[in-house]
A and B are shown apart, each in its own frame.
Chain A
Amino acid sequence: ETGVTQTPRHLVMGMTNKKSLKCEQHLGHNAMYWYKQSAKKPLELMFVYNFKEQTENNSVPSRFSPECPNSSHLFLHLHTLQPEDSALYLCASSPRDAGVDQETQYFGPGTRLLVL
């Protein structure tokens, strides 16, 4: 266990549905991340939050809407997704005050999403 939990672990949704992914970290970290892992593609960084503020949006379509109510929780709200959005969505956290050469991200187990 890395101290980062994600729910649900599996999700099937239609293109007109609205759903949310949840991530919680128990490590006292101040930075949280959403990544997307599609089949045969590298992990892609989607969003970064530092101290609850979004500091990076890697050109993610607006049908993905993140929310970070506090440093321990991160959500990804999903709306009118496309089949090509089917992927493994990974959450990660890290201590914000680590130097760039010492920073380590801790990953959750991911949510496997299938969009029909």
Chain B
Amino acid sequence: KQEVTQIPAALSVPEGENLVLNCSFTDSAIYNLQWFRQDPGKGLTSLLLIQSSQREQTSGRLNASLDKSSGRSTLYIAASQPGDSATYLCAVRRGFQKLVFGTGTRLLVSP
């Protein structure tokens, strides 16, 4: 059974810091991995999607890496801002319409 773990569960940093969120999964047979952002009252927003054949994806200040063989992904956020405060969820795709989510990392960026 695929299990997804995210560390740390919560993170508090001052504005401007670079930070790394971690995601690990137990079964390397995945189609892709996706990072979402969840804001209170606003549902989930997709940030980055990495195919199983890719090593990383970048969007603005965000960079996500994938090491499928070791079952790990990281989300790097550069020059963090208070607007980045949210819960970040990692999800692996184990089949069509089958996403397995982690429990998330709750990020707080202080001005």
* Tally of contact residues, B, Cβ under 8 A: 27
Residue of A nearest to B104 (CB): A42
Q: Which residues of B contact A66 (CB under 8 A)?
A: none
Is the pair A4, B43 in contact by a Cβ cutoff of 8 Å?
Answer: yes
Q: Is B102 interfacial (CB-CB < 8 Å)?
A: yes
- Residues on B with C-beta less than 8 A from A56 are 97
* Complex interface: chain B residues within 8 A of A104 (CB): 34, 46, 49
Q: Tell me the dominant secondary structure on chain B's binding face.
A: strand
Which residues in window 37-91 of A have CB below 8 A to B?
A: 40-43, 45, 48, 50, 55-56, 90
> Which B residues touch A31, using CB under 8 A?
97
> Are A107 and B44 touching (Cβ within 8 A)?
yes
In the complex, A57→B49 CA distance in Å? 26
Given A90-B43, A104-B46: A42 in contact with B31 (beta carbons within 8 A) = no
CB–CB B103/A41 < 8 A: yes
Any B CB within 8 A of the CB of A34 = no
Q: Give the nearest-CB partner of A39 in chain B.
A: B103
- A81 → chain B closest CB, angstroms: 22
> Do residues B4 and A100 form an inter-chain contact, with CB atoms below 8 A?
no
B93: chain A residues at CB < 8 Å are: 100-101, 103
- Is B32 a contact of A45 with CB atoms below 8 Å? no
Complex-state Cα separation, A50 to B96, whole angstroms = 12
Q: Which B residues are in CB contact (< 8 Å) with A92?
A: 44
Interface residues in B40-67 by Cβ distance below 8 A to A read: 41-46, 49, 51-52
